[in-house]
A and B are shown apart, each in its own frame.
Chain A
Amino acid sequence: MEYVIEMLNIRKVFGNFVANDNITLQLKKGEIHALLGENGAGKSTLMNVLFGLYQPDGGEIRVKGKKVNIANPNVANDLGIGMVHQHFMLVDTFTVTENIILGSEPTKGGQIDIEKAEKEVRELSERYGLAVDPKAKIADISVGMQQRVEILKTLYRGADILIFDEPTAVLTPQEIQELIQIMKALVREGKSIILITHKLKEIMEVCDRVTVIRRGKGIGTLNVSETNPNELASLMVGREVHFKTEKQPPKVGKPVLEIENLVVKDSRGITAVDHLNLTVHAGEIVGIAGVDGNGQTELIEAITGLIKSESGSIRLNGKEIRNLTPRQITETGVGHIPQDRHKHGLVLDFPIGENMVLQTYYKEPYSKRGILNFKAIYDKARQLIQEFDVRTPDEYTKARALSGGNQQKAIIGREVDRDPDLLIAAQPTRGLDVGAIEFIHKRLIEQRDKGKAVLLVSFELDEIMNVSDRIAVIYEGKIVAIVDPKETTEQELGLLMAGSKRKEAGVSS
Chain B
Amino acid sequence: MSENRLTNILVPVFAVILGIIAGAIVMIVSGYDPIAGYSALLYGAFGDRYYIGETIRQVTPYILAGLAVAFAFRTGLFNIGVEGQLIVGWLAAVWVGVAFELPKVIHLPLAIIAAGAAGALWGFIPGFLKARFRVHEVIVTIMMNYIALYVSNAVIRSVLSDQGFKSEKIHPSASLRSEFLQSLTDYSTLHYGIIISLIAAVVMWFLLEKTTTGYELRAVGFNQHASHYAGMNVNRNIILAMVISGAFAGIAGAMEGLGTFENVSVKAGFTGVGFDGIAVALLGGNHAFGIILAAVLFGALKVGALEMPSAADVPTELVDIVIALIIFFVASSYLIRLVLTRFKKEGK
Contact = CB atoms under 8 A, between A and B. Distances in A.
Direct A–B touching, Cβ under 8 Å: yes
A346 interface: yes
A30 B288 CA distance: 58
B131 to A, nearest CB: 15
Interface in A337-360: 338, 343-350, 354, 358-359
Contact of B218 (A325, A346, A350, A370): A350
Interface in B30-64: none
A15 B3 contact: yes
A44 interface: no
A328 B212 CA distance: 18
A347 to B, nearest CB: 5
A350 B3 CA distance: 18
B176 to A, nearest CB: 30
Contacts of A85: none
B268 interface: no
A267 to B, nearest CB: 13
B343 interface: no
A347 B212 contact: no
Q: Range of interface residues on chain A? A: 20 to 34
Interface string A304-348: 101000000000000000000111101100001010000111111
B226 A347 contact: yes
B213 A347 contact: no
B182 to A, nearest CB: 39
B29 interface: no
Interface string B285-317: 000000000000000000000000000000000
B104 interface: no
B215 A338 contact: no
A326 B230 CA distance: 7
A354 B222 CA distance: 13
A325 B232 CA distance: 9
Interface in B184-242: 210-216, 218-219, 222-223, 225-233
A88 interface: no
A348 B219 CA distance: 9
Nearest to B229: A344
Contact of A326 (B211, B212, B213, B231): B231
Given A327-B231, A350-B219, A358-B219, A372 B212 contact: yes
Given A350-B218, A350-B222, A367 B212 contact: yes
Contacts of A348: 222-223
Contacts of A327: 231-232
B1 interface: yes
Contacts, number: 68
A304 B225 CA distance: 13
A306 B229 contact: yes
Given A306-B228, A338-B229, A370-B211, A347 B3 contact: no
B222 A370 contact: no
Contact of B1 (A330, A359, A396): A396
A378 interface: no
A55 B1 CA distance: 21
B223 to A, nearest CB: 5
A18 B228 CA distance: 37
Contact of A347 (B1, B210, B227, B233): B227
B231 A347 contact: no
Given A15-B3, A326-B228, A347-B227, A354 B215 contact: yes
A1 interface: no
Interface in B1-18: 1, 3
A270 interface: no
A362 interface: yes
A15 B213 CA distance: 34
A328 B210 CA distance: 25
8 contacts: A306-B228, A343-B226, A344-B228, A345-B226, A347-B218, A350-B218, A358-B229, A367-B212
Nearest to B213: A370
Given A347-B223, A348-B222, A348-B223, A358 B212 contact: no
Interface residues of B, number: 22
A361 B226 contact: no
Interface string A440-473: 0000000000000000000000000000000000
Contacts of B231: 325-328, 330-331, 359
A370 B215 CA distance: 10
A312 B210 CA distance: 42
B210 A371 contact: yes
A349 B213 CA distance: 17
Contacts of B226: 343-347, 358
B30 to A, nearest CB: 38
Contact of B211 (A306, A325, A371, A396): A371
Interface string A361-375: 110000100111000
Given A304-B229, A306-B229, 16 more contacts: A327-B231, A330-B230, A330-B231, A338-B229, A343-B225, A344-B229, A346-B223, A347-B223, A347-B227, A349-B222, A350-B219, A370-B212, A370-B213, A371-B210, A372-B210, A396-B1
A328 B231 CA distance: 8
Contacts of B212: 361-362, 367, 370-372
Contacts of B216: 361
Closest 9 CB pairs of A and B: A327-B231, A358-B230, A344-B229, A326-B231, A349-B222, A347-B223, A343-B225, A347-B222, A367-B212
A18 to B, nearest CB: 15
Interface in B226-282: 226-233
A358 B222 CA distance: 13
Contact of B219 (A15, A338, A347): A347
Contacts of A331: 231
Nearest to A396: B1
A361 B215 contact: yes
Nearest to A393: B1
A346 B222 CA distance: 10
A372 B230 contact: no
B244 to A, nearest CB: 14
B227 to A, nearest CB: 7
Interface string B131-168: 00000000000000000000000000000000000000
B286 to A, nearest CB: 13
A133 to B, nearest CB: 34
Contacts of A372: 210-212, 214-215
A325 B212 CA distance: 19
A349 B231 CA distance: 18
A336 B222 contact: no
A159 to B, nearest CB: 27
A336 to B, nearest CB: 7
Nearest to B230: A358
A328 B226 CA distance: 16
Contacts of B223: 343, 346-349
A384 B1 CA distance: 22
Nearest to A304: B229
Contact of A359 (B214, B222, B230, B233): B230
A362 B227 CA distance: 13
Contacts of B225: 343-344
A46 B346 CA distance: 22
